[in-house]
Amino acid sequence: MKTDRKLRLSKTSRTNYLTYLMVIAAFIILQSMSSAGMLKSALRGQLVPICAYVTVALALNLTVGVLGELSLGHAGFMSVGAFAGAVVASALRDSVASDPLRLIIAMILGAAFAALAGFLIGIPVLRLNGDYLAIVTLAFGQIIKTIMENLYIGMDAKGLHWDFLTNDIVLAKGGRMILNGPMGINIQKISTFAAGFILIMVTLMFIFNLVNSRSGRAIMALRDNRIAAESVGINVTKYKLMAFVLSAALAGAAGTLFALGQNTMVASKFDFNTSILILVFVVLGGQGRMWGSIIAAAALTVLPEMLREFSDYRMLVYAIVLILVMLVTNNPTIQGYISRITGKKGGAEK
């Protein structure tokens, strides 16, 4: 039994290290190709969004694959991080000259605001399960979208000013509007592919360390059998909230990275369709498989751009490819083959 346990742990560690190496290798290759001018400008512009979507896919996989709860609100957490980070970056534009430092501050605060939102929504929501949890988190995402579309923030020498529903903000001379309700926010691009790579690596470190810790084993015990976990004294609310808040924070950091890589950002970007897209990344890559989420998020983000030459038919081709991949990856024979490659046992353990 001890030998089997050690072997199982070594296989998990090996998969984790291979995931790190995959991300590092992809970064080196793409960065080299970009520096050499071998990437098209359209694909080069997709590098930061790919990193953001990979990060939020990993964050959702923590909730869906590790915790075992279906959440459709991660577009909302991404929106919180995007607008909070963009407002912070815009407010610090005159006082912090270094773009990388401003990006780091914005991402930390974006993650903090998203974590706070996750904590506040998680306390009542995590008492629900299944479809009920999905419906409530979906409603949360729509609420966040509506709030952002009706929020106005301006800045002058006296500091930040805000209003809701109507723009009655009166700014002193030299002041400027930062967030202008449904018109969104104008942003100075400061996100980089290197920053996205670092964010993905940090996200993987957080998730792998959590999963392999005592808390991670408690979270997975709740996923497998909540009643049995409660019977041995595992605090359901504590561990569910721990995973959910961390997932929300990572999604918020991804939102900040995404927003600061755009010229303008509007709340409608983070709607129901975005939540479903993120869920597709997780389902396609495999619940609990972080490397699968990375590949699925990167492939499905860049695929529409690669199919752009097909004009009106590109979304049809995209949908057909998506359906075929879903059918193939859910084939038991192929799943067993993938499990053997990744060092996991395809059949029942004896």
- Could you read off the pLDDT of 237-280 as tens digits, one per residue? 889 999 999 999 999 999 999 999 988 888 888 888 888 889 88
- Identify the pLDDT of residue 1: 45
Taking all residues of the chain, what is their mean pLDDT, rounded to a whole number? 84
Would you say residue 73 lies in a domain? yes
Would you say residue 120 lies in a domain? yes
Beta-strand relationship, 176-180 and 159-164: unpaired
Which of 5-9, 82-86, 340-344 has the weakest average pLDDT? 5-9
Looking up tokens 């509506």, which residue turns up?
A: 146
Would you say residue 262 lies in a domain? yes
Q: Binning pLDDT at 50, 70 and 90, where does residue 331 land?
A: low
Q: Binning pLDDT at 50, 70 and 90, where does residue 204 land?
A: very high
- Identify the pLDDT of residue 209: 92
pLDDT of 211 > 70? The answer is: yes
Angle at 122 between CA 116 and CA 125, to 5 degrees: 150
- Report, in angstroms and rounded to the nearest whole number, the Rg of the chain calculated over CA atoms: 21
Distances (CA, A) of 204 to 40, 160, 313, 319: 28, 35, 36, 29
Would you say residue 323 lies in a domain? no
Would you say residue 311 lies in a domain? no
Q: Which amino acid is located at 194 in the chain?
A: A
Would you say residue 133 lies in a domain? yes
Largest CA distance in the chain: 75
Q: Which of 175-179, 304-308, 327-331 has the highest mean predicted lDDT (pLDDT)?
A: 175-179
CA dist., res. 318 & res. 209, Å (int): 35
- Identify the pLDDT of residue 348: 40
pLDDT of 55 > 90? The answer is: yes
Tally of domains in the chain: 1
Angle at 237 between CA 233 and CA 238, to 5 degrees: 80
Would you say residue 304 lies in a domain? no
pLDDT of 342 > 60? The answer is: no
Domain that holds residue 155: 19-271
The pLDDT tens digits for 97-141 are: 888 999 999 999 999 999 999 999 888 887 777 778 888 888 888
Work out the average pLDDT over 220-231.
85
CB burial string 35-69: b at 16+ within 10 A, e below: eeeebeeebeebbbbbbbbbbbbbbbbbbbbbbbb
Would you say residue 236 lies in a domain? yes
- Identify the pLDDT of residue 347: 42
CA dist., res. 185 & res. 87, Å (int): 8
Contacts of 273 (CB under 8 A, 6+ apart): none
Work out the average pLDDT over 72-83.
91
